[in-house]
Amino acid sequence: MTNSPIASVVFGLASAACWGAGDFCGGLATRRTHVYSVILASQVVGVVMLIGLALAFGESAPTPVHLLWGGLAGTLGLVAFYRALASGQMGVAAPVGGVIGAATPALLGTFLEGWPGTLKLMGFALALIAVWFVSRTENATAHVNELGLATVAGICFGAFFICIHRASETGVFWPLVAARFTSLTALSIVATVTHQPRLPDKPHLPLIALVGVMEVGGNAFYALAARAGRLDVAAVISSLYPAGTVWLAWLILKERITRLQTVGIVAALAAIVLIAI
């Protein structure tokens, strides 16, 4: 794909929108049924959808090396997910993990591709502030153990961004299929060992299927964003997904947006403009 900074920003925004909507739908689904069944069913939907897209776009089968990168990305993403859940305060894990997850590939992108312009650097800083504020809850207080878990989660999320970028250099969908198969296998083993329910109730299937579709969209658009432009731009813009989750919760569930979250949303909008210039 031809290098196009604007396309990278657009794809990154599409990725953030999909991930934000997916997180919102996933949160709704887990209120109604078991978390393992939600994740497993959405992963199955994602695998089927990705295989269909790979065949429809005629992507050639990836090399074993690219499959390895895709599988590694899925495993690291899974580790990050459980590390975040293990934290006692999600209000701590979410912002710390989100900021580190965005900063890690941004630093690598700067190292590999050189320093971006001044305006983009200002945009990156604002975006990291936005992720922190949008993800914060009013009652979240940090403890040493929770910060450690959140840091590990953030590093894993950043590694996920980097691995998907590496795996998608010659394709978009097949590496994501490999990532989904890896995480689906790991989740199935964990669910079996811990005797967790793996099949959701039928009334919840449409919402869970939407979770899978949104996750696939987020991953695919992120891969396209990374191929279209700089890795740091793609990672930072895509990491603004919590703003979408907060906005949907306000719009649909009438949840209150805190002052910190409002500041974060405004900062996110300003960051997008600076990064796109």
Confidence band of 235 (pLDDT split at 50, 70, 90):
confident
| Mean pLDDT of the region 15-36 | 84
Which residues make Cβ contacts (< 8 Å) with residue 141, sequence separation at least 6?
A: 89, 92
How far is Cα 24 from Cα 5, in angstroms, rounded to an integer?
Answer: 29
**Whole-number Å distance between alpha carbons of 160 and 155:** 9
Kindly report the average pLDDT of the chain as a whole number: 79
Question: Which segment of 94-98, 178-182, 237-241 scores lowest on mean pLDDT?
Answer: 94-98
Q: What residue type is assigned to position 201 of the chain?
A: D
Secondary structure of the chain: what % helix, strand, coil (to 5)?
80, 0, 20
CA proximity to 276, closest of 237, 221, 228, 219:
237
Of 74 and 6, the one with more pLDDT? 6
Contact 224, 217 (CB under 8 A): no
Whether residue 104 is predicted with pLDDT greater than 70 in this model: the reply is yes
Global pTM value? 0.81
Confidence check: pLDDT of 17 > 90: yes
State the DSSP code for 87.
S
Q: What is the distance in angstroms between the CA of the first residue and the CA of the last residue of the chain?
A: 21
Contact 264, 244 (CB under 8 A): no
Report the pLDDT averaged over residues 207-217: 91
| 258, 136 Cβ separation under 8 angstroms | yes
In the predicted model, what is the mean pLDDT of residues 192-199? 77
- Name the packing angle between helices 35-56 and 5-32 (round to 10°): 140
Q: Which two tokens stand for residue 46?
A: 């994602």
Q: Which residues of 191-213 are buried (b: 16+ CB within 10 A; e: fewer)?
A: beeeeeeeebeeebeebbbbbbb
